Amino acid sequence: MKRNFVKYFCISLALFGVGIFLGFAEKFGWVQGFNVATVKAAQSARNAFWTPYFMTVAKYAGTAYDIAIGLIVVVVLAMLKRWKEPLEIFLSLVFAGASVVIMKTLYKVPRPDFSQLIPESSFSYPSGHSVGAVALYGLLAYMIVKSKLPKTISWTLATLLSVFAASILYDRLYIGVHWGMDIIGGGIIGLACAILAVGIAQSWKSSKENDVNRR
């Protein structure tokens, strides 16, 4: 039990370390060329077919919707007397929200100001949408793959969730409200949050099972 938790914790800590380093790299301008190039590349890809789609993603894939969807899944699983998965989702979202607030306040990186399709005024690093997308939809995809559903169904659902999460990440570039490193760092931080949540939930489950076996 402890060995498994240490493994999850170390992987998560390493990913958080990468995310923190990328934040400093962006704050001090070390990746400015990459950032500008990614925003301009996404801007040049805009067209009448994709713009309505990504504008819709931007509208309905925000933090409030992540929390709402997460709470719905938590409630449904709790009603089915499944406690490990709701705990994973809850912890992942809590870690994600805290990470975004702390890092945005720490780095205070300004957003791109030359290509926004919708106005955004908060700080840029990391992308909160990217952190939330991986922390929620990436975790849900993992949970579905690990479930007892038939492989064809589980992998299909997991793939759809992963594609949707990826579209949220790219959307932030497409509509011009984030730099490329915001997206990369956000995805890494979201993954760190999900892994840490899984490690804690599995450790909790193992502890409960050991307590039951001792009785």
46-89, pLDDT tens digit by residue?
A: 999 999 999 988 888 777 777 788 788 878 777 777 778 888 99
Whether 213 is in a domain gets the answer: no
% residues pLDDT > 90 (the chain): 65
- Of 181, 69, 80, the C-alpha closest to 132 is 69
Q: Where are the alpha helices (DSSP H) in 28-83?
A: 32-44, 50-60, 63-79
5 or 143, which is more confident: 143
CATH number at residue 37: 1.20.144
Residue 24 pLDDT: 96
Query: Is 99 part of any domain?
Result: yes
Residue 139 has pLDDT above 80, yes or no: yes
pLDDT at 196: 95
Q: Which residues form the domain of 80?
A: 2-205
Is residue 116 exposed (0-12), middle (13-18) or buried (19+ Cβ within 10 Å)?
A: middle
pLDDT interval class at 209 (50, 70, 90): low
Q: Which two tokens stand for residue 92?
A: 């992942």
Structure token pair of residue 86 = 């709701």
Instruction: Look at residue 211 and tell me if it is in a domain.
Output: no
- Is 82 part of a structural domain of the chain? yes
In the predicted structure, residue 197 carries a pLDDT above the cut 70:
yes
Q: Is residue 22 part of a domain?
A: yes
Is 84 a member of any domain? yes
* Non-local CB neighbours of 210 within 8 Å, separated by 6+ positions: 1
Residue 37's pLDDT band, with cuts at 50, 70 and 90, is: very high
Tokens of 62: 């925000």
Ranking 2-6, 44-48, 90-94, 155-159 by mean pLDDT, the lowest is 2-6
Query: Given this model, what pLDDT does residue 211 score?
Result: 52
Considering the chain, what is the average pLDDT of its residues? Answer: 89
Domain assignment present for residue 47? The answer is yes
Q: What is the CA radius of gyration of the chain?
A: 18
Is residue 125 in some structural domain? yes
Number of domains in the chain: 1
